[in-house]
Structure 1
């Protein structure tokens, strides 16, 4: 059992590293186009007609904007059982690098990658003269900006999707409840304000106890906490994140329950501990994953407010 949790923690750390590469804070809050190849845009009255996506989020956004433009996608567990994507060719699987031969064979006029993860493939595609676009999504505003930019590149209307995003958010203010999100046990990791999870908590007016913390964690937007620090914080609400490769909700909670501090926290004593999927809260993943995470936050935080 101990070895299993070490492996789970390592998997979470690897996924967070990849997510932090794609969501790492930069001096610009906007998404950006690769410098070496100009992507088609509406200003030149030319829009992309054959798009390959190298991240699950950009895949979902393009599909929602205009599915006829999507000719190749990255493999993702989020889409394994999704009938919408069954007949679209995969150019990568899991954490393996994109297959350049497959991409070129699809004759795309635009390839969309993730900053920090797809850079090497994008650089090669630039050399081949294929237009490309690198994305960064580190907060809600950058999600909206990405949607607008992708809509511009393919000649689509972003407003229906932007309107849908707004339905994910609460329509009334919630109390400022002290909240701690725990994404792994060994080490104990929590998102600060410079992460997607931290920004989503802000949208729900939850008081993220790790928001202002900084540490030596190699993962941008996350801090390592000691058991003493968690006990000192003593949150009203705890959100435990299931590992990205999946896992039993009971097993995840059972792992934390082994900690001596666990039963001393007011969140556990008041039965205010909730489990969330990795995709949606820690890594945006897809539009549906974001919506599900927001629905859970509405249910859990608003339910706490009413008690």
Structure 2
């Protein structure tokens, strides 16, 4: 069941926003919301005193950003299906695979002068690496501003120019910000979970000027940045569009949609009646994952929510 995957993933990933997760060792759902943008843990930081030349990245997003800034600086990454066919990483050693924690011996053997981790999943490995006096950085990304700040931080650490990549990010977002569309993003059925504004997905909707009807909601939820909705609450919200998110493992978006169709409220929603139900990949929308994943999610938002003719 979809919700079982979601809760089990959360238990494994130790409450994080940016995290190397699941079989791809990439960023996972945030179970702890930060009000800051890109943050670092002062108790786990030992930043390099000069430009880093040998970087090990323990999250797919950080690895991708470093590779875009200067691919010669990457010497180790976590195994990720997002990079399966990426020639940039073909000969780069993997320091972890699947859901296993990073192999410290492999990391040390690469003689890095900087190891970048994700707050939560990488906290313990980073602390151990710090004890070896290897410079480290813990990152946390939960909104667009944090993505830009992380890019600037990494560029500074490896003495690269972040501007070309920052300019590329701008092309992902729509030019027209005069939108009045209402929407809900649903990531599971039992419980019905939707991102509020304190999440990557919620902030992405904000960047597109989409009125996320769960943006200001708060409440008890197994996932920070997400709220639990009742069927009545969904029906009361009655958004123009509903976005469903398939999980990172398997192909179960049809299962989630089919399960929601069994709910008595489903056919009463205007989004259902107007055929405005859209299925998105987990990477890019819920989990930033990589630059390409973010770009694809943005392209789909433009097309599905604003570009295609409605039937």
Q: Number of aligned pairs?
A: 297
2:33 is matched with 25
Kept in 2, the 8 Å contact 1:138–1:195? The answer is: yes
Displacement after TM superposition at 1:75 (Å)? 1.2
Residue of structure 2 equivalent to 1:231:
235
Unmatched tracts of structure 2, length 5 or more: 19-29
The structure 2 residue matched to 1:277, chosen from 274, 278, 281, is 281
Q: Which residue, out of 48, 57, 75, partners 2:79?
A: 75
The partner residue of 1:290 within 294, 302, 311 is: 294
1:163 aligned to which of 152, 162, 167: 167
1:34 touches 1:134 (CA, 8 Å); kept in 2? no
Q: 2:225, 2:35 → 1: CA distance? A: 15
Structure 2 Cα separation of the partners of residues 273 and 55 of structure 1: 31
Query: Is 1:181 the equivalent of 2:185?
Result: yes
Higher fraction of helix: 1
TM-score by length of 1: 0.91
Aligned counterpart, 1:133: 137
- Give the structure 2 partner of residue 13 of structure 1: 7
Unaligned runs of 5+ in 1: none
TM-score by length of 2: 0.90
Q: Is the 8 A contact 1:239 1:276 kept in 2?
A: yes
Equivalent residues in 2 for 1:33-52 (5 A)? Answer: 34-35=42-43, 37-40=45-48, 46-52=50-56
How far the C-alpha of 1:94 sits from its partner, in A, is 2.1
RMSD between aligned alpha carbons?
1.9
Task: Give the direction of change, closer, same or farther, for the CA distance of 1:306–1:9 in structure 2 (3 Å limit).
Answer: closer
Distance 1:304 1:265, change over 3 A: farther
Cα distance change of structure 1 residues 119 and 95 upon mapping to structure 2, 3 Å threshold: same
Residue 145 of structure 1 corresponds to 149
Contact 2:243–2:278 (8 Å) recurs in 1 = yes
Q: Which residue of 263, 286, 297 corresponds with 1:259?
A: 263
CA contact under 8 A between 2:38 and 2:147: conserved in structure 1? no
Per the alignment, residue 220 of structure 1 pairs with 224
CA contact (8 A) 1:20 1:221 kept: no
Secondary structure of 2:218 counterpart: coil
